[in-house]
């Protein structure tokens, strides 16, 4: 780690210090330009130079999306869909409601495009259900775990988000993932759109590994920097979000990260076939900027209508907006 003008210069997680090719991306909140370097050895992208961990607080406003609860009616609708996905594909037979038991083959066909959409879109380990979430936000995902019978705990640096989680009955440690007191005997360590924010992801993975039961799992969801959306929208793609997103993961790059951390059976799946969040945000930013606004607006609408098709195609082609990694301790 080297310092320059109050910023840190970091090497790649694979140990490579090569500068690699360079990409510029704009902070969507403060509009400053930041530099990502693409590792020629392992394909990971890294923000470099980057602010130190102690300076990060100023880059997270209290209304940063993960710190705010969705409107109750949206949350209820989304929760029902996610629960149906979980019960249809991943729950044990005893957990399925009567409706899902009766119509399961039909639901399995109808919900197929959303199969990866649930927080719980993975086979639960045959262990006591005990999860720790790093960067739990307002606790929305932990609520889903709790509704599926998990004992839940977690940490979150934002005071606003910790208070929102407390209102849901979920008590979180208020601290960075790197500083959390992780309980022993976990069957799952979970990070949803958090792993790309960490200054020291290898240290957090090591803590997770040390506190997992044998055959416990880590589940991580991150933006996919090798996605079609990333290629199409370039520096406007919301997966960058500098300086909050410090690491840019690709399927190949993140597989190597987990293997180096000592995990076995590392599987990478592509999620969010509808791609609504990324694509819509990318289009919004693109149409609102620069010259030719009217033309850009018309093109953005046209492209917006291709969302569904593009999302399905990218996920089927292994280039979805997000990737989920499920990795097992040896």
Please pick, from the candidates 38, 42, 194, 278, the single residue that binds Zn ion as defined by CB under 5 A. Answer: 42
Per CB under 5 A, which region of 43-51, 135-143, 262-270, 289-297 contacts Zn ion?
A: 43-51
Among 35-43, 166-174, 232-240, 275-283, the segment contacting Zn ion (CB under 5 A) = 35-43
Smallest gap from residue 38 Cβ to Zn ion (A)? 9
Q: Which stretch binds Zn ion (CB under 5 A): 6-14, 52-60, 106-114, 122-130?
A: 6-14
Exactly one of 25, 39, 177, 205 binds Zn ion (CB under 5 A); that residue is 39
Burial of 318 (0-12, 13-18, 19+ CB in 10 A): middle
Cα separation, 258 vs 25, in Å, equals 26
Q: Which residue number, 14 or 308, has a Cβ lying nearer to Zn ion?
A: 14
Q: Is the dihedral of CA 309, 315, 320, 321 positive or negative?
A: positive
Choose the stretch contacting Zn ion; rule: CB under 5 A; options: 40-48, 117-125, 195-203, 219-227.
40-48
Q: Applying CB under 5 A, which of residues 12, 119, 188, 325 lies at the interface with Zn ion? A: 12
User: Which pair of tokens denotes residue 264?
Assistant: 């076995």
Nearer of residues 19 and 265 to Zn ion, judged by Cβ? 19
Report in angstroms how near the CB of residue 73 gets to Zn ion at its nearest.
Answer: 44
Question: What is the biggest distance separating any 2 CA atoms in the chain, rounded to whole angstroms?
Answer: 63
Q: Shortest approach of Zn ion to residue 256 CB, angstroms?
A: 8
Q: Smallest gap, in angstroms, from Cβ of residue 44 to Zn ion?
A: 5
Comparison of 42 and 170: residue with beta carbon closer to Zn ion: 42
Q: 14 or 111: whose CB is closer to Zn ion? A: 14
- Phi first, then psi: what are they for 93, rounded to 5°? -55, -35
Q: Which of 243, 250, 251, 195 shows the shortest CA–CA distance to 48?
A: 243
User: In angstroms, rounded to a whole number, what is the distance separating the alpha carbons of residues 329 and 134?
Assistant: 18
* Of 116, 115, 166, nearest in space to 137 by CA: 166
- Scanning residues 14 to 33, which ones bind Zn ion (CB under 5 A)? 14, 16
Pick the stretch among 42-50, 81-89, 158-166, 177-185 that binds Zn ion (CB under 5 A).
42-50
According to DSSP, the residues that pair with 220 across neighbouring strands are 191, 325
To Zn ion, the closest distance from the beta carbon of 20 in angstroms equals 8
* Residue count, binding to Zn ion (CB under 5 A): 7
Q: Is residue 76 classed as helix, strand or coil in its secondary structure?
A: helix
Pair 155, 131: CB distance under 8 Å: no
Least distance CB 261 / Zn ion (angstroms): 14
| CB distance 142 to 161 below 8 Å | no
Dist. CA 156–CA 134, nearest whole Å? 7
Out of 17, 19, 21, 41, name the contact with Zn ion by CB under 5 A. 41
Q: Give the Cα separation of 201 and 254 in Å (integer).
A: 11
Could you tell me which of 95, 124, 146, 310 has the C-alpha nearest to residue 216?
124
Q: Does position 313 bind Zn ion by CB under 5 A?
A: no
Residues 6+ apart with CB under 8 A from 70: 78, 140
Q: Tally helices (H) and strands (E) across the chain.
A: 10, 12
Q: Which is nearer to Zn ion, 117 or 260 (CB)?
A: 260
Give the residues lining the site for Zn ion (CB under 5 A): 12, 14, 16, 39, 41-42, 44
């Amino acid at each position: 780690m080297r310092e320059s003008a109050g910023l840190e210069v970091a090497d790649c997680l694979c140990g490579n210090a090569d500068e690699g090719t360079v990409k510029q991306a704009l902070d969507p909140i403060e509009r400053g330009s930041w530099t990502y370097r693409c590792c020629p050895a392992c394909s990971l992208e890294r923000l470099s130079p980057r602010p130190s961990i102690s300076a990060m607080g100023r880059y997270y406003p209290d209304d940063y999306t993960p710190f705010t609860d969705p409107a109750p009616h949206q949350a209820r609708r989304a929760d029902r869909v996610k629960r149906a996905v979980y019960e249809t594909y991943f729950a044990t037979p005893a957990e399925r409601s009567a409706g899902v038991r009766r119509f399961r083959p039909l639901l399995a066909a109808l919900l197929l495009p959303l199969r990866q959409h649930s927080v719980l879109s993975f086979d639960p380990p045959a262990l006591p259900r005990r999860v720790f979430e790093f960067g739990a936000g307002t606790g929305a995902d932990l609520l889903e775990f709790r509704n599926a019978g998990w004992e839940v705990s977690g940490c979150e640096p934002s005071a606003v988000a910790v208070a929102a989680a407390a209102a849901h009955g979920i008590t979180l440690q208020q601290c960075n993932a790197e500083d959390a007191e992780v309980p022993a005997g976990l069957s799952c360590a979970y990070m949803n759109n958090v792993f790309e924010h960490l200054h020291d992801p290898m240290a957090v993975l090591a803590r997770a590994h040390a506190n997992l039961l044998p055959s416990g799992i880590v589940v991580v969801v991150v933006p996919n920097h090798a996605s079609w959306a990333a290629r199409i929208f370039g520096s406007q793609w919301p997966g960058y979000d500098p300086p909050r997103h410090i690491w840019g993961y690709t399927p190949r790059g993140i597989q190597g990260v987990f293997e180096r951390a000592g995990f076995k059976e590392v599987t990478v799946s592509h999620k969010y076939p509808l791609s609504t969040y990324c694509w819509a945000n990318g289009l919004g930013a693109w149409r609102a900027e620069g010259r030719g606004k009217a033309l850009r607006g018309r093109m953005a609408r046209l492209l917006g209508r291709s969302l569904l098709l593009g999302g399905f195609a990218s996920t089927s082609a292994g280039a979805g907006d997000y990737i989920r990694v499920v990795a097992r301790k040896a």
